[in-house]
């Protein structure tokens, strides 16, 4: 958030009797967390949103050294240490910044009493329906009530009644009785996506969250409000009632929706994915992601998912498929269609295969409209990877006109297609009859139907690897769920085919092994290894591609043209 990206000045603050150095002006909640590891409980505060101070959960005691007005010197106590003038009333930490000499008590009797009081107030009109609430297990109200609450209720009156099960948007369900009125969702809509659709009506304890008349929360970023909601008031209609969160295992991944490379967490149980949420990365997506990207896990169990090897439309085992593929790909008139959905490692391996076969490679581009936030106009996650690995030397084009004329003229008679439907890239399905095709991909499409050999491979959720985003930031994705039984990885398939057609040096490819070769052969990846790339990615120096006019417009943390000279 901070605009002063130069060397931040450090100040000393005292937290519960111990001095810590923190950046000057840092929000006190963040500063206390960073310095001492102590969490000041809070609901309404969020580092990416404006400060409103309405939940009153983050109350602490604050004080500063007393100064003698006459001399301007600090007043010392008997021990010679400065006397602290404590404010008589508690203050909210979220509206305070770290200043030199600030003293904070985060666990004094007064602070404990404030937390008890606030939690009691938040709970008196709360339905306490945790047993049927999706937020249970990751609910700040539950957590703080257990950590700081009284543990019993003194409330014997009737609770307020508010609307339940309000479909506030196509993907978001609202339960107003659970709402603690922290206004995070309102501020998100107003400040981040600039679509002011939510607000409060009525007043006092009857205040109710709702959408403006005639409007609904239908932004493609609406589900971020569900993530932001500290309680179970806003829930995702897709995830609602599907699975208890404590059964789910989160795995770090990367969204494949566009070249932004949104960092995600993929939540699964027993090999089945239930939801995708954003993972904070302040260089890429802050704490947000698009709704559409959250639904991409559905491709794993899609009806048209390819699960078995096929030759001539009949199921065969992997060995037979590779033998048949080799008989086609042995042709001297071979062309290869690679993909910007393949990982850096897969693209590099395919480039090696193409080089050995002296086959031409084309990669179709997927271009859509960017939303200037977290979906760019390049709708594939790894176009930069195809350039960096040398799979292609020019910016991919949406139509494969060169390939089409090569097919028409008979210059090629065999085609290896990876993850792409070339009928969507300007090549008529009828034309495919003129060539023999080996298709390696995840889902059935017109190309797989025309192919003589089909070999299924894993989706992004079932393998690991790296993508390079629009900023030339290389980011890792991990295996979230196992691939279907008997399915080989794309690297393995390339490796086996290479062996079958007599190309050496490509056997037994794994991600780590490919990296050993890439780090010496690919200029941008020198000195890196798969293991050394941190969870939030590594910025590559990509001056080599400065002259390429990429299709993306400006979006969050991305300015076209500015990043090719970016330093690591």
Partner 1 sequence: MAVAEKRIILKYADEPGYTPDITCYMKHGGYQRLKKALGMKPEDIVNEVADSGVRGRGGAGFPMGMKMRFLDRKSGKPIYLVCNADESEPGTFKDRQIIHKDPHQLIEGLMITAYAIQAAQAFIYIRGEMYQGARMLETAIEEARAKGFTGANIGGSNYSCEIVVHRGAGAYICGEETGLLESLEGKRPYPRIKPPFFPAVLGLYQCPTLVNNVETICNVKHIVDMGGKEYAKIGRPNNTGTRIWSVSGHVKRPGYYEFECGALTYGELIYDVCGGIRDGHKLKAVIPGGSSSKILRAGERFKGKNKDGSEFDWGIEDIPLDFDGPMAAGSMSGSGAVIVMDDSTDMVEAMANINAFYAHESCGQCTPCREGSLWLRKITSRMCAGGARAEDADLLKSVADQMAGRTICAFGEAASWPVQSFIAKFKDEFVAKAQQAGNASKAPTGRGFRLIG
Q: Which residues bind partner 1 (CB under 8 A)?
A: 51-57, 59, 89-90, 92, 95, 113-114, 116-118, 120-122, 124-125, 128, 145-146, 149, 151-158, 160, 180-181, 199-200, 202-207
Tokens representing 249 are 């295992």
Taking a C-beta distance cutoff of 8 angstroms, is the pair 455, 321 a contact?
A: yes
CB closer to partner 1 out of 145 and 266: 145
Query: Shortest distance, CB of residue 190 to partner 1, whole angstroms?
Result: 11
Query: Shortest distance, CB of residue 127 to partner 1, whole angstroms?
Result: 13
CB closer to partner 1 out of 207 and 292: 207
CB closer to partner 1 out of 111 and 540: 111
Strand order through the sheet with 166-167: 166-167, 172-174, 234-236
Query: Shortest distance, CB of residue 131 to partner 1, whole angstroms?
Result: 13
List the Cα angle 457/460/466 in 5-degree steps: 110
What count of Cα atoms within 13 Å lies in the side-chain half-sphere of residue 243?
Answer: 15
Taking a C-beta distance cutoff of 8 angstroms, is the pair 32, 42 a contact?
A: no
Query: Shortest distance, CB of residue 160 to partner 1, whole angstroms?
Result: 8
Query: Shortest distance, CB of residue 23 to partner 1, whole angstroms?
Result: 19
CB closer to partner 1 out of 48 and 116: 116
CB closer to partner 1 out of 62 and 306: 62
The string of DSSP letters for 49-111 reads S-----S--SEEEEEEE-B-TTT-PBPB-TTSSBPEEE-SS-EESTT-B--TT-EEESSSHHH
Query: Shortest distance, CB of residue 229 to partner 1, whole angstroms?
Result: 16
CB closer to partner 1 out of 213 and 534: 213
Query: Shortest distance, CB of residue 63 to partner 1, whole angstroms?
Result: 16
Query: Shortest distance, CB of residue 45 to partner 1, whole angstroms?
Result: 11
Burial class from Cβ neighbours inside 10 Å (0-12, 13-18, 19+) for residue 412 reads buried
> 3-class secondary structure for 210-257?
EECCCCCCCCCCCHHHHHHCCCCCEEECCCCCCCCHHHCEEEEEECCC
Query: Shortest distance, CB of residue 103 to partner 1, whole angstroms?
Result: 17
Site of tokens 């991600």: 511
Burial class from Cβ neighbours inside 10 Å (0-12, 13-18, 19+) for residue 128 reads middle
Query: Shortest distance, CB of residue 108 to partner 1, whole angstroms?
Result: 14
CA-CA distance, 322 to 325, in Å (whole number)? Answer: 5
CB closer to partner 1 out of 63 and 117: 117
Diameter over CA atoms, the chain: 97
Spatial neighbors of 22 by CB under 8 A, at least 6 apart, are: 10, 11, 12, 13, 31, 34, 35, 98
Residue 134's φ and ψ, nearest 5 degrees, are -65, -25
CB closer to partner 1 out of 153 and 317: 153
CA-CA distance, 229 to 189, in Å (whole number)? Answer: 13
CB closer to partner 1 out of 76 and 201: 201
CB closer to partner 1 out of 95 and 548: 95
């Amino acid at each position: 958030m901070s605009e002063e990206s130069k060397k931040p000045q450090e100040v000393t603050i005292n937290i519960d009797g111990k001095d810590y150095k923190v950046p000057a002006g840092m929000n006190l909640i963040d500063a206390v967390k960073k310095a001492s590891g102590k969490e000041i409980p809070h609901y309404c505060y969020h580092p990416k949103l404006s400060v409103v101070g309405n939940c009153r959960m983050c109350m602490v005691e604050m004080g500063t050294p007393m100064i003698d007005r006459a001399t301007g010197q600090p007043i010392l106590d008997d021990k010679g240490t400065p006397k602290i003038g404590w404010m008589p009333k508690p203050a909210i930490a979220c509206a305070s910044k770290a200043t030199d000499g600030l003293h904070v008590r985060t666990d004094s009797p007064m602070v404990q009493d404030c937390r008890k009081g606030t939690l009691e107030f938040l709970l008196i009109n709360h339905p306490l329906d945790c047993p049927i609430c999706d937020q249970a297990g990751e609910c700040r109200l539950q957590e703080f009530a257990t950590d700081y609450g009284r543990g019993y209720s003194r409330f014997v009156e009737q609770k307020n009644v508010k609307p339940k099960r309000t479909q506030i948007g196509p993907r978001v369900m609202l339960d107003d009785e659970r709402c603690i009125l922290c206004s995070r969702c309102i501020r998100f809509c107003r400040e981040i996506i600039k679509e002011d659709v939510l607000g409060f009506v009525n007043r006092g304890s009857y205040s109710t969250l709702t959408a403006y008349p005639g409007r609904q929360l239908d932004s493609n970023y609406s589900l971020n409000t569900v993530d932001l909601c500290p309680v179970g008031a806003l829930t995702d209609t897709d995830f609602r009632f599907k699975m208890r969160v404590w059964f789910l295992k989160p795995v770090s991944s990367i969204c494949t929706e566009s070249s932004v490379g949104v960092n995600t967490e993929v939540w699964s149980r027993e090999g089945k994915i239930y939801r995708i949420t954003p993972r904070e990365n302040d260089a890429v997506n802050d704490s947000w992601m698009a709704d559409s990207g959250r639904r991409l896990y559905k491709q794993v169990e899609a009806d048209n998912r390819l699960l078995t090897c096929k030759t001539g439309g009949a199921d065969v085992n992997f060995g037979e498929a590779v033998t048949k593929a080799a008989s086609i790909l042995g042709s001297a008139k071979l062309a290869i269609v690679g993909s910007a959905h393949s990982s850096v490692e897969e693209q590099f391996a395919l480039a090696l295969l193409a080089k050995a076969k002296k086959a031409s490679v084309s990669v179709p581009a997927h271009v859509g409209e960017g939303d200037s936030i977290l979906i760019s106009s390049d709708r594939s996650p790894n176009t930069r990877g195809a350039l960096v690995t040398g799979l292609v030397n020019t910016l991919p084009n949406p139509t494969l006109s060169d390939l089409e004329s090569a097919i028409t003229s008979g210059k090629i008679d065999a085609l290896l297609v990876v993850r792409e439907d070339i009928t969507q890239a300007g090549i008529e399905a009828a034309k495919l009859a003129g060539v023999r095709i080996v298709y390696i991909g995840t889902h059935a499409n017109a190309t797989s139907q025309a192919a003589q050999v089909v070999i299924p491979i894993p989706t992004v959720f079932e393998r690991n690897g790296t993508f390079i985003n629009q900023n030339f930031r290389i980011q890792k994705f991990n295996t979230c769920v196992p691939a279907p039984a008997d399915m080989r990885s794309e690297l393995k398939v390339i490796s086996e085919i290479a062996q079958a057609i007599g190309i050496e040096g490509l056997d037994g490819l794994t991600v780590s092994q490919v990296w050993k070769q890439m780090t010496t052969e690919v200029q941008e990846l020198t000195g890196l290894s798969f293991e050394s790339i941190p969870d939030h990615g590594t910025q590559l120096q990509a001056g080599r591609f400065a002259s390429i006019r990429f299709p993306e417009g400006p979006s969050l943390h991305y300015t076209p043209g500015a990043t090719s000279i970016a330093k690591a």
